[in-house]
Amino acid sequence: MADNKIHVTNLKKSFGKLEVLKDISMDITEGEVVVLLGPSGSGKSTFLRCLNQLETATAGQILIDGYDVTDKHTDINKVRQNIGMVFQHFNLFNHLNVMDNMTLAPVHLKVMTKDEARKKAMELLTRVGLADKAEAFPSQLSGGQKQRVAIARALAMKPDIMLFDEPTSALDPEMVGEVLAVMKELAKEGMTMVVVTHEIGFAREVADRVVFMEGGYIVEQGTPEEVLAHPKEPRTIDFLSKVL
């Protein structure tokens, strides 16, 4: 338990009367890549957002590196700095160029000096194949490039957990591969990752574990082989028949 990177016990989340997460327990070890699957509205985004406290849990406990993020006394900003998040719609600051997008948080939060942050940013942009775009503005980039910048920006804070919420869903099909390639590279380097995606090929190839969620519960989970090739639950089978 203590060596789990993420330890979620009986998590519940409601919005008013709407119960979205009904009872979720999940342990994620360091370096593990978990792919979350499930129909729209099943609570996948809400689950990710509870992990870094963009949403407050209604009940249950979430430990990140042993820190209870559901405890009001925990310095959530400290924990959050170690968790990078990438969204479907990039969420870049459109009035800032790529370099400024990348250095804003680390400099503002005093994690790095401006020089250090710029150096780290160039290193990361090189890694995602965009070293020549440091001075470009988001409007000058393709969707795939924007998402690679968003990933690099999240990595600039040196997180040790990365959360991805449908990172390729808003992309033209020809750009999906370049973003998945960056994510695959991260996974290989040992990053702990929770990825919501409908890219079954990515799940099959990269995930250590696939979790199928529906209606606020985990319906089925296991290795990609177990869940994707030999699903047991009718709801999993039905879902896969629609996305495969």
Chain positions contacting ligand ADP, by CB under 6 A: 15, 18, 20, 38, 40-46
45 binds Mg ion (CB under 5 A): yes
38 touches which of ligand ADP, Mg ion, none (CB within 5 to 8 A by kind)? ligand ADP
Closest separation in Å from C-beta 150 to ligand ADP: 18
- Measured from the CB atom, the residue of 38 and 138 that comes closer to ligand ADP is 38
46 touches which of Mg ion, ligand ADP, none (CB within 5 to 8 A by kind)? ligand ADP
Burial class (CB within 10 angstroms; exposed 0-12, middle 13-18, buried 19+) of 124: buried
- Measured from the CB atom, the residue of 128 and 207 that comes closer to Mg ion is 207
Closest separation in Å from C-beta 39 to ligand ADP: 7
Q: In this structure, what token pair is assigned to residue 175?
A: 């750009």
15 touches which of ligand ADP, Mg ion, none (CB within 5 to 8 A by kind)? ligand ADP
41 touches which of ligand ADP, Mg ion, none (CB within 5 to 8 A by kind)? ligand ADP
Q: In this structure, what token pair is assigned to residue 197?
A: 């995606």
What are residue 213's DSSP bridge partners? Answer: 218
Helices (H), the chain: 44-51, 76-81, 98-108, 114-127, 143-155, 173-188, 200-206, 224, 234-243
Three-point CA angle 209, 242, 15, nearest 5°: 70
Residues 182-185: contacts with CB within 8 Å, 24+ apart?
182/127, 182/128, 182/148, 182/151, 183/151, 185/127
- Measured from the CB atom, the residue of 10 and 142 that comes closer to ligand ADP is 10
Residues binding Mg ion: what is the number (CB under 5 A)?
2
Binding characters for Mg ion, 3-42, by CB under 5 A (x = yes):
----------------------------------------
DSSP state at residue 133: G
HSE (side-chain half, CA atoms, 13 Å) at 17:
0
Closest separation in Å from C-beta 216 to ligand ADP: 8
Name the residues that contact Mg ion, by CB under 5 A: 44-45
